[in-house]
Structure 1
Amino acid sequence: MAALMHDGVSGTSRLPAAGPPMAGLHVMAGDWMLMAHGYGWGVYTDQGGPRGRDEGFVESMAMLMAARPVGDGGKLQLRAMFSAEPLMGDRGYPNLFATGETAGGRALIDRQHPHDLFMELSARLDLPVAPGLTGFLYVAPVGEPALGPSAFMHRPSARLNPDAPITHHWFDSTHIAFGVMTAGLSGRHWQAEASVFTGREPDEDRWDIERPRFDSWSLRATWLPDEHWSASLSYGRIESPEVLHVGEDEGRLVASIAYAAPGFTATAGWSRKQRIPGRALQAGFVEGNWAIRPRHNLFGRVELVDNDELFPEGDPLHGRPFTVGKATLGYAYELPLGRAAALALGGAGSAYAKPDRLDAAYGRTPLSFSLFAKLTLGQPAGLR
């Protein structure tokens, strides 16, 4: 069954083969391998400082996959991914220093937007083209182009972190694009691919499927030297991604590296977002998850980002870039619920670095914490 599944579940990205397999329920139906995967988070967060808010919310994702052999050595995979996050409202949830997308026609600041009902609807066909060489085609009315690392909710290094990265819109904001086509070649230790896709980020109607435009493109090269490592370099030219900045395109250069070994996973990345026309803004992150003992996990993330969207129009600091950082450390205890599910209980705390110029808006030393319960379909590798 495993041979039918790819070592990544985020568009066509590749994760280290030694990483933990995705938790889920598997069933064989003739030549088809069927898999159901999903999770739901119940989170209470208290984001510190004058701009912070305390709030409870629910994050969720459900994925259905079907895969089967095709021809002589080929395979077909169908994938559908959904989220109930539109139910939380268009303002999403508090996340200090996070920006991107809109609610009520206004830019979201210090909040993480909800994801759409349709996160992915895709088909992928892999066919051998020469000894040790496979060609593939990925087509998705809703999907993810070949740009950046695996989206944060699919990275094993972030699987127990309840916070979306504040660098999300520098690395993986294209993970829900309405219209994607990717073609590529993969060998044993490498993959090269190109995508055309819709650059505009999802609008505020989180329930629909938007019209594809195929107005943007990206290229990505991935190197997998062994089962423990995966490194990628990608570039994307994105047309008018932000609805409030019509006519402002983006050139995004992203490098990332992931490592996996039994009980430990980590990912690091750097991104340069060039506004066209406009300035260049950089971001970086390092994150990891360490199973220190069976059922006991430590996780964390450190981020640094240049952000010029922290103040709304009309504010004297609107459009000014500031370099801000966030460091998160957390713990989670996992326990199996029968054979079909697992529950993780934990919490995380975050501290921030920022210029003194931001003290009036954010306070001198804002601190945040979150408590959560995460229910997962299937059982993580450490609990099996």
Structure 2
Amino acid sequence: MATLGFRYRNFKLEGSSFTGREPDEQRYDFDKPRFDSRAVRFTFNPTTQWSLQASTAYVKSPESGEPDEDVYRTTASVLYGKELSGNNRFLTAILNWGYNYVDQDHQEHSVLLESTLQSDKFAVYGRYEWLQKSAEELGFEHDFFEHDAIFGINALTVGANRQLFEFGTVNTTLGAQVSVFRGAHELHPYYGSLPVSAQVYLRIFPTVMVPK
């Protein structure tokens, strides 16, 4: 990817050129850079707590299974972050919208709303997602649904994690989360009306780097 940007006060404008095709299954080599896709992103930070961005992109042939399909992608997001009084506490939230356009019969929207309350070593978070998927992307044959049939899918996740220890510049956190899903009624015979999943995870990541 190559990016060129311009910043003036609280405004930033960036343009990028990149390879649109997703990486192939050969994970031990480098894919050929094509620079056949492009994107423009505009960011505005009205205060230290708010950040707004909008972007649009042309993605050349992203899927190897559909080499003739190009995607026009648009996103917009609002990010909020605030330091709360006492015990190193922070509240962050994001609202994000995305839109993919392939042709008149293949258009998909998505919405993400997520918030986290972080204390010194403990965090709780929630996330709501709504997106549209085609029957083809869900793996259905044409005998089940039309090729371009679009379905809305909802997901609600709540979770918590706690820092276990720091080892040098590495942080270790243990967490758990539960997700509840609700798809279009046409999908209920295949996925159920209200699928539930749960996860327990161990996260290992670098600690915050403080300049000396």
> TM-score, normalized by length of structure 2?
0.88
Q: CA 1:315–1:204 in 2, change beyond 3 Å: closer, same or farther?
A: farther
1:289–1:300 Cα contact (<8 Å) kept: yes
What is the match of residue 14 of structure 2?
193
Q: Give the CA RMSD over aligned residues.
A: 1.9
Percent identity between matched residues is 29
For residues 15 and 166 of structure 2, the distance between their equivalents in structure 1, rounded to whole angstroms, comes to 42
What is the match of residue 351 of structure 1?
180
1:305 to 121, 124, 131: 131
| Aligned pairs, number | 201
Code of the residue aligned with 1:316 in structure 2: it is: F
For residues 70 and 184 of structure 2, the distance between their equivalents in structure 1, rounded to whole angstroms, comes to 28
What is the match of residue 164 of structure 2?
335
What is the match of residue 248 of structure 1?
69
Which is further off, 360-369 or 317-326?
Answer: 317-326
For residues 10 and 35 of structure 2, the distance between their equivalents in structure 1, rounded to whole angstroms, comes to 30
Report SS of the residue matched to 1:307: strand
- C-alpha deviation, 1:307, in angstroms: 0.6
Code of the residue aligned with 2:100 in structure 1: it is: K
What is the match of residue 281 of structure 1?
108
1:342–1:379 Cα contact (<8 Å) kept: no
Q: Deviations over 1:67-120 (max 9, x none)?
A: xxxxxxxxxxxxxxxxxxxxxxxxxxxxxxxxxxxxxxxxxxxxxxxxxxxxxx
Q: CA 1:245–1:313 in 2, change beyond 3 Å: closer, same or farther?
A: farther
- After the TM superposition, which segments of 4 or more aligned residues of structure 1 sit over 4 Å from their partners? none
1:316 lines up with 2:144 in the alignment: yes
2:10–2:46 Cα contact (<8 Å) kept: yes
- C-alpha deviation, 1:380, in angstroms: 8.8
Structure with more of its chain in strand, by fraction: 2
- C-alpha deviation, 1:338, in angstroms: 4.2
Report SS of the residue matched to 2:31: coil
RCO higher in 1 or 2 (8 Å CA, sep ≥ 6)? 1
- C-alpha deviation, 1:259, in angstroms: 1.2
What is the match of residue 360 of structure 1?
189
- C-alpha deviation, 1:188, in angstroms: 2.2
1:342–1:380 Cα contact (<8 Å) kept: no
1:295–1:333 Cα contact (<8 Å) kept: yes
- C-alpha deviation, 1:192, in angstroms: 0.4
Q: CA 1:319–1:279 in 2, change beyond 3 Å: closer, same or farther?
A: closer
Q: Deviations over 1:36-94 (max 9, x none)?
A: xxxxxxxxxxxxxxxxxxxxxxxxxxxxxxxxxxxxxxxxxxxxxxxxxxxxxxxxxxx
1:295 to 115, 118, 121: 121
For residues 170 and 14 of structure 2, the distance between their equivalents in structure 1, rounded to whole angstroms, comes to 35
1:218 to 30, 33, 39: 39
2:93–2:113 Cα contact (<8 Å) kept: yes
- C-alpha deviation, 1:202, in angstroms: 1.0
- C-alpha deviation, 1:367, in angstroms: 0.3
Gaps of 5+ in 2: 84-89
Report SS of the residue matched to 1:220: strand
- C-alpha deviation, 1:341, in angstroms: 2.4
For residues 238 and 259 of structure 1, the distance between their equivalents in structure 2, rounded to whole angstroms, comes to 29
2:30 to 209, 220, 228: 209
Pairing 1:10-49 to 2, within 5 Å after superposition: none
For residues 203 and 315 of structure 1, the distance between their equivalents in structure 2, rounded to whole angstroms, comes to 29
> TM-score, normalized by length of structure 1?
0.50
Report SS of the residue matched to 1:359: helix
